[in-house]
Amino acid sequence: GANAMQQNREGAIKVGQHSIETANDSSIYLNSYGPGGPEGKTYKYIPIADVLLSFLKAKEIRKDFFLPYFHLTSLYRDFYKAEANKVKGVFLEGLINTNNDYELLYHFYSYLIEQEDYSEAAQYLRVFINKVPNTQNREDAIKELNRIEALIK
């Protein structure tokens, strides 16, 4: 899918102005909207290294919130391809610290399916099914689990 983060020629990422908050006076991190945020808001380019540091900082400030982990995995996949091997570890760290947040579980099992790691995807899909509050999402996940289990056999 399209990523809300867009890079400019200088290697900076377009980030919603409303998404920027200061923490501990000097550190900038991104709040719950993350990059982009709702449409129609103002944007600002931030150097990619600063965005990475911001998400690392946000993760430390709110260990139990899923978005910094999700955004870090997006950065490693889309902008720091040499660091792509960190993606799974960031997801796993996030799942531990968020007590298997269902939104993070969704992105993790989707990532595992992309990687064609169907056995592990099925394992996390089962956890998601038990965690997700929305009935429609649960039913969709059960269908996806059936599809994935068919690929494993």
pLDDT of residue 28: 38
The answer to whether 100 and 90 are in contact (CB under 8 A) is no
What would the pLDDT profile of 84-120 be if each residue is shown by its tens digit? 899 999 999 999 999 999 999 999 999 999 999 999 9
The answer to whether 30 and 20 are in contact (CB under 8 A) is yes
Positive/negative CA dihedral, 66, 67, 68, 74: positive
90 class by beta-carbon count within 10 Å (0-12 exposed, 13-18 middle, 19+ buried): buried
pLDDT of residue 90: 96
pTM for the structure as a whole: 0.74
The answer to whether 78 and 14 are in contact (CB under 8 A) is no
Q: Along the chain (153 residues), what's the average pLDDT of each consecutive run of 10 residues?
A: 46 45 34 45 62 81 85 84 91 97 96 96 97 94 96 87
pLDDT of residue 33: 40
